[in-house]
């Protein structure tokens, strides 16, 4: 399979504090890589480095052969092909659900409105929110907002989807709706990076699990095998605790 993302010795520091300490990782098209591990080990920061929301202090990131550093136009070119879903949704509150989904394709990708609208409406069916198309974010539950955010990311036809703890800010009741949509996307063969604490989801849906602790990748491999029995003591202990 074609490799779409390559991280080589990635280092991220905030001042004197090291957040990522030499992360190397290659991701091929169609992979669903789930990042798990204790809070504060740099999982979210790793995603944010990939689309240039954070600058890096060392190493290299390349997305579809394009370096994601330095030159702002190269970073923007990468961002146009990477969809990101945030923990707190970050929908645009002054726009309706439909307008939220249509904004980037129309403004950033300069696509025709009618085409974008047709695609957006189909996406609302996919995320099971066709009835909420004209609602404003403040009128929707967290689970609904997150599914709109997923539709918003999908509407730009991204080559990679990045989920940054997509269910961490949700009521337990609505977590399932969001995970169902993410399962559907996995079945379509989308390439996804998912930072999550939902170990069961990672084991069911993921094609690879990456366990991070203290700014490094400690272990990676088949999610089911890792949940059944990880190689390293640290991963075994974490996955054992969280899985119950």
138 or 187: whose CB is closer to other proteins?
138
Pattern 112-151, binding to other proteins, x per CB under 8 A?
------------------------xxxx------------
Residue 70 DSSP code: S
DSSP of 151-213: HHHHTT--SEEEEESTTTTS-HHHHHHHHHHHHHHHHTT--EEEE-S-HHHHHHH-SEEEEEE
Beta-carbon contacts of residue 147 (< 8 Å; ≥ 6 apart): 127, 128, 129, 177, 178, 181
Q: List the interface residues with other proteins, window 3-62 (CB under 8 A).
A: 51-53
In the bound complex, what is the minimum distance in angstroms from residue 43's beta carbon to other proteins?
Answer: 16
51 or 220: whose CB is closer to other proteins?
51
| Alpha carbons 196 and 139: distance in angstroms, whole number | 26
Strand partners, 67: 62
20 or 154: whose CB is closer to other proteins?
154
In the bound complex, what is the minimum distance in angstroms from residue 218's beta carbon to other proteins?
Answer: 27
148 or 235: whose CB is closer to other proteins?
148
Three-state secondary-structure class, residue 62:
strand
Pattern 66-95, binding to other proteins, x per CB under 8 A?
----------x--xx-xxx-x-xxxxxxx-
In the bound complex, what is the minimum distance in angstroms from residue 52's beta carbon to other proteins?
Answer: 8
Please tell me whether residue 189 binds other proteins under the rule CB under 8 A: no
Contact criterion met (CB below 8 Å) for 147 and 129? yes
Where along the sequence are the contacts to other proteins (CB under 8 A)?
51-53, 76, 79-80, 82-84, 86, 88-94, 103-104, 107-109, 136-139, 152-153, 156
């Amino acid at each position: 399979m074609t490799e779409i993302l390559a991280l080589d010795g990635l280092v991220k520091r905030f001042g004197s504090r090291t957040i990522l300490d030499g992360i190397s990782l290659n991701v091929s098209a169609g992979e669903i890589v789930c990042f798990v591990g204790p809070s504060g080990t740099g999982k979210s920061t790793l995603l944010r480095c990939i689309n240039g929301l954070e600058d890096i202090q060392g190493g290299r990131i390349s997305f579809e052969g394009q370096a994601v550093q330095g030159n702002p136009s190269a970073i923007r070119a990468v961002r146009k092909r990477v969809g990101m879903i945030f923990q707190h949704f970050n929908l645009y509150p002054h726009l309706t659900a439909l307008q939220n989904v249509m904004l980037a394709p129309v403004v950033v990708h300069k696509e025709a409105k009618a085409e974008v609208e047709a695609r957006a409406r189909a996406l609302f069916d996919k995320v099971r929110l066709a009835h909420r198309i004209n609602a404003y974010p403040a009128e929707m539950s967290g689970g609904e907002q997150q599914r709109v955010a997923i539709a918003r990311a999908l509407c730009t036809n991204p080559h990679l989807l990045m989920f940054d703890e997509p269910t961490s800010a949700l009521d337990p009741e609505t977590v399932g709706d969001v995970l169902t949509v993410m399962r559907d996307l996995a079945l379509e063969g989308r390439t996804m990076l998912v930072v999550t604490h939902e170990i069961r989801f990672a084991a069911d849906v993921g094609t690879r699990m990456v366990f991070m602790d203290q700014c490094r990748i400690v272990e990676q491999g088949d999610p089911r095998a890792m949940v059944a029995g990880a190689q390293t003591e640290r991963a075994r202990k974490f996955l054992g605790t969280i899985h119950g």
